Amino acid sequence: MCTGSCSVVQNPPDSNDDVTEHPHDDKPRPYLSTVCDKRFTSNKHLKDHTKIHSGENVYSCTQCGKRFSSQSGLCQHMNIHSGKYKCTECGKCCRSSHQLAIHRRSHSGEKPFECTICSKRFTQVGNLVTHSRIHSGEKPYKCQVCDKAFRGTGGLDRHMLVHTGDKPYKCSLCKKRFGQFSSLQLHKRSVHSNRKPYHCPYCGKLFKTNNQGLKPHVRIHTGAKPYSCTHCSDCFRTLDLLKRHLLKSHNEGTWFTCDICQQQFATRGELKKHSRRRHERVKSYVCSECPKCYCTAVELRLHHLVHLAFR
- Taking the C-alpha atoms of residue 195 and residue 266, their distance in angstroms, rounded to an integer, is 30
Q: Please count the CA atoms within 13 angstroms of the CA of 241 that sit on its side-chain side.
A: 10
Confidence band of 8 (pLDDT split at 50, 70, 90): very low
What was the pLDDT predicted at 1?
A: 43
- Taking the C-alpha atoms of residue 212 and residue 192, their distance in angstroms, rounded to an integer, is 16
Q: Burial level of 146, CB count in 10 A (0-12/13-18/19+)?
A: exposed
Question: pLDDT (tens digit, 9 = 90+) per residue, 100-140?
Answer: 888 888 888 888 889 888 888 888 888 888 888 888 888 88
What was the pLDDT predicted at 221?
A: 92
- Taking the C-alpha atoms of residue 259 and residue 269, their distance in angstroms, rounded to an integer, is 15
Query: Assign residue 172 a region: left if phi > 0, alpha if psi is -120 to 50, beta otherwise?
Result: alpha
Of residues 264 and 46, more confidence is placed in 264
* Average pLDDT in the chain: 78
At 68, give phi and psi (nearest 5°).
Answer: -135, 155
Confidence band of 37 (pLDDT split at 50, 70, 90): low
- Taking the C-alpha atoms of residue 161 and residue 250, their distance in angstroms, rounded to an integer, is 31
- Section 293-309 average pLDDT: 82
Question: pLDDT (tens digit, 9 = 90+) per residue, 164-211?
Answer: 777 777 888 777 888 777 778 778 877 777 778 888 889 988 888 887
Number of helices (H), then strands (E), in the chain: 10, 20
What was the pLDDT predicted at 4?
A: 42
What was the pLDDT predicted at 53?
A: 62
Q: Does the structure show a pLDDT above 70 at 20? A: no
Which residue in 112, 111, 74, 98 sits closest to 10, CA to CA? 98
Tell me which of 20-34, 134-148, 220-234 is least confident.
Answer: 20-34
What was the pLDDT predicted at 57?
A: 60
Q: Does the structure show a pLDDT above 70 at 64? A: yes
* In contact, 297 and 279? CB cutoff 8 Å: no
Q: Where are the alpha helices (DSSP H) in the chain?
A: 43-54, 71-82, 97-108, 125-136, 153-164, 181-191, 215-222, 239-250, 268-274, 297-309
Q: Residue 107, SS3?
A: helix
B/e letters for 101-139, b = 16+ CB within 10 Å, e = fewer, are ebbbebbeeeeeeeeeeeeeebbbbbbbbbbbbeeeeee
Tell me which of 78-82, 247-251, 270-274, 281-285 is least confident.
Answer: 281-285
Confidence band of 10 (pLDDT split at 50, 70, 90): very low
Cβ neighbours of residue 282 closer than 8 Å, sequence gap 6 or more: 174, 176, 276, 295
Domains of the chain and CATH, by start: 1-82 (3.30.160.60)
Q: Does the structure show a pLDDT above 80 at 242? A: yes
Confidence band of 2 (pLDDT split at 50, 70, 90): very low
* In contact, 150 and 159? CB cutoff 8 Å: yes
Q: Please count the CA atoms within 13 angstroms of the CA of 44 that sit on its side-chain side.
A: 7
% of the chain with per-residue pLDDT over 90: 2
Confidence band of 45 (pLDDT split at 50, 70, 90): confident
* In contact, 174 and 191? CB cutoff 8 Å: yes
Q: Does the structure show a pLDDT above 70 at 300? A: yes
- Taking the C-alpha atoms of residue 147 and residue 35, their distance in angstroms, rounded to an integer, is 11
Tell me which of 2-6, 53-57, 261-265 is least confident.
Answer: 2-6
* In contact, 108 and 126? CB cutoff 8 Å: no
What was the pLDDT predicted at 14?
A: 37
